[in-house]
Amino acid sequence: MAQVLADRRDVDFVLFDQLEADALSQAEAYAEFNRKVIEMIITEARNLAVKEILPTQKDGDQIGARFNNGAVTTPDSFKRAWELLKEGEWIGTFFPPEWGGQGMPHLVSIAANDYFSAANLSLVMYVSLSSGVSKLIETFGTEKIKNLFLKKMVAGEWAGTMMLTEPEAGSDVGALTTSAKKNDDGTYSITGNKIFISGGEHDLSENIIHATLARIEGAPAGSAGISLFLVPKFWVNDDGTLGERNDVVCTGIEEKMGIHGNATAAMALGGKGKCRGYLLGEENKGMRAMFQMMNSARLHVAQTALSNASASYLNAVNYARERVQFRPADAVDKNAPPVAIINHPDVRRMLITMKAYVEGSRSLLYYVAKLIDQSHLAGDAEEEAGYEALIDFLTPICKGYVTDRSYDVTNLGLQVYGGYGYTSEYPQEQLVRDTRITMIYEGTNGIQAMDYLGRKTVMDKGKAMMALMGEIRKTFDQAKAVEALKPLVEKAEAVNNRLSEAAMQLGTTMMKGQIMNALVHSYTFMDVSGDAVMAWMLLWRASIASRQLAKGVKKKDEKFMQGQIKSAEFFINTILPLTNGKIDTIMDACYSAMEIDADSFGGK
């Protein structure tokens, strides 16, 4: 049975019916991206993903990245796929044409990546890391640095990665010890060790440009004294040619649960005292620059998780249609023939749960991508700031909630297959393993939750949250015009009201100085906020589908539109009652997790 990646009908529904992607072509910057062009782009992305990238997925998992004496080799099939991604200019989709990019809207780019990431997450990670570093260079690089690096990286001739984590400084980046000393020629000598560096070494490109955090000698302690540097694997001469090998060496790669095809490297910088780098941006402002890349990376991590969840869901649906086992539970005749398992109630429960989360998450991530496009097109600073506030507020939900639920979906996708799902004969178990890292990458989901409550909600005094609620109300008002959706809107509104109360209570707790007591509920707060956003997205979809059904649609579209309504009904009537229970746990203000003595956990 062929593996499926993303439902093209659903992708088109979100792009055109929900978010009106073709309307972006009214702006001069995106004038060429009308509906016909966007559809062509998605078709080409799907074809490349299915025909060329998907066949590399097993190689990535079973052969993986291999380390030998400082060098890392990827599976041979990766090389052809990388070359095809380069030829199609898929590495620099949203970069301006002046740097060799396609100038594509982020909304269109994320839809294309839906297919690529589902086809082989390990391979596509090399692409996304390169894009992230390229964006840092475009934003913070001098003209010299941009001219030296950007076109090569956007073209995929050179790759990129970011070096943050150190053995004694994991998520606490401010504790890093890598040091930098300024040289007479304006470059910096870098010394230190980094670990868990995705794509830190490989053989897909002739050079790798490492965005590296280090502390300049004499700089303040903590995150306030961190600077950002570009450290190339091979030094780049002023004329753009490659020079001598830089003193940055891979000392090993990790054996991991999943994403075996992506090298997770330990890197030594300046072991021979000859590692050089360029300052990127201002001294001691490295964290500000790196956070730009990390926020973008967090959205990408959410998108990759969704892609795996989408593939797992569609595989499960097709398997359930074909796998025949057991007669119907309500069959009176003991000799009744067995039926496809998609007819059994518990399989239906799993499939509709997966369906709701995949559809809601796709709408959310595409919506944030469109906000990014709108911020770029904004007519003034105030309008741009409004879009940026919504993006910042929704980013922890995208990274934290979507990756959590995507992992749940892949688990259900394995369960639908039963024992076969646990074997490597089918892709389901690999999708589970590959998706699990997304809950850890780019700041664990616990960190996302604390950021969401502390910085994005309380410190912001709820301004972004209120702005989001305003957007949600617009959708609810439209949905109320559909009589059958009114009861669903009422339930969703009730949860939103309670969510606001929970935010106020947690904010008050923090303002009283009981920060730890508030933060112990931050994960639950992010979780229920995600549920509220899912209900919003699913109601938005159901509202559109209801209106289209009322006007009349083609026969082939009827079931799809009806399915949108059923997803919203299921989620709001089945999941949101559990959300109310989670809000109860916040409002009850139980602080046992903080009050228990550390020795009471046992384990000694």
The pLDDT of residue 48? 97
DSSP designation for 337: P
pLDDT tens digits for range 554-591: 888 999 999 999 999 999 999 999 999 999 999 999 99
pLDDT tens digits for range 73-117: 999 999 999 999 999 999 989 999 999 999 999 999 999 999 999
The pLDDT of residue 515? 94
Contact between 404 and 448 (Cβ < 8 Å): no
Q: Classify the C-alpha dihedral 393-395-400-402 as positive or negative.
A: positive
User: Is the pLDDT confidence value at 2 over 70?
Assistant: no
In angstroms, the CA 286 to CA 441 distance is 20
Contact between 120 and 56 (Cβ < 8 Å): yes
Contact between 596 and 560 (Cβ < 8 Å): no
The pLDDT of residue 167? 85
CATH number of the structural domain 8-67+74-145+147-151: 1.10.540.10
359 labelled catalytic = no
In angstroms, the CA 209 to CA 385 distance is 31
- pLDDT band for position 4 (50/70/90)? confident
In angstroms, the CA 529 to CA 520 distance is 16
Q: Give, to the nearest 10 degrees, the angle between helix 345-377 and helix 286-322.
A: 150
φ/ψ of residue 397, rounded to 5: -70, -40
Give this prediction's pTM.
0.95
Q: What angle do CA 463, 469, 473 make, to 5 degrees?
A: 145
Q: Which residue has the tokens 């868990």?
A: 196
Contact between 20 and 35 (Cβ < 8 Å): no
Amino acid in the structure at residue 590:
C
In angstroms, the CA 236 to CA 262 distance is 25
Active-site hit among 138, 201, 429, 442 = 442
Q: What is the dihedral of CA 103, 105, 106, 112, to 10 degrees?
A: -90
The pLDDT of residue 84? 96
The pLDDT of residue 326? 83
The pLDDT of residue 222? 84
In angstroms, the CA 100 to CA 89 distance is 8
Average pLDDT value for residue range 58-68: 96
Asked if CATH classification 3.30.450.20 holds for the domain at 160-284, the reply, yes or no, is no
Residue closest to 57 by CA, chosen among 130, 113, 118: 118
User: Is the pLDDT confidence value at 293 over 80?
Assistant: no
The separation between CA 160 and the C-alpha centre of its own chain, rounded to angstroms, equals 18
Q: Classify the C-alpha dihedral 26-30-36-38 as positive or negative.
A: negative
pLDDT tens digits for range 12-43: 999 999 999 999 999 999 999 999 999 999 99
Query: Is 440 strand, coil or helix?
Result: coil
pLDDT tens digits for range 239-278: 999 999 999 999 999 999 999 999 999 999 999 999 999 9
The pLDDT of residue 333? 81
pLDDT tens digits for range 463-511: 999 999 999 999 999 999 999 999 999 999 999 999 999 999 999 999 9
The pLDDT of residue 338? 85
The pLDDT of residue 172? 63
Q: Classify the C-alpha dihedral 181-170-287-372 as positive or negative.
A: positive
- % of the chain residues with pLDDT over 70: 99
In angstroms, the CA 264 to CA 585 distance is 38
In angstroms, the CA 7 to CA 260 distance is 26
Contact between 71 and 203 (Cβ < 8 Å): yes
> What's the N-to-C CA distance of the chain in angstroms?
50
- State how beta strands 234-236 and 158-163 pair: unpaired
Q: Domain extents for the chain? A: 8-67+74-145+147-151, 160-284, 448-597
pLDDT tens digits for range 412-463: 999 999 999 999 999 999 999 999 999 998 889 999 999 999 999 998 889 9
pLDDT tens digits for range 139-193: 999 999 999 999 999 999 999 999 988 887 656 666 788 999 999 999 999 999 9
Residue closest to 116 by CA, chosen among 61, 65, 57: 57
- Bridge partners, residue 480, by sequence: none
The token pair that represents 407 in the structure block: 């992992």
Average pLDDT, the chain: 94
Q: Count of CB atoms within 10 A of residue 31's CB?
A: 11
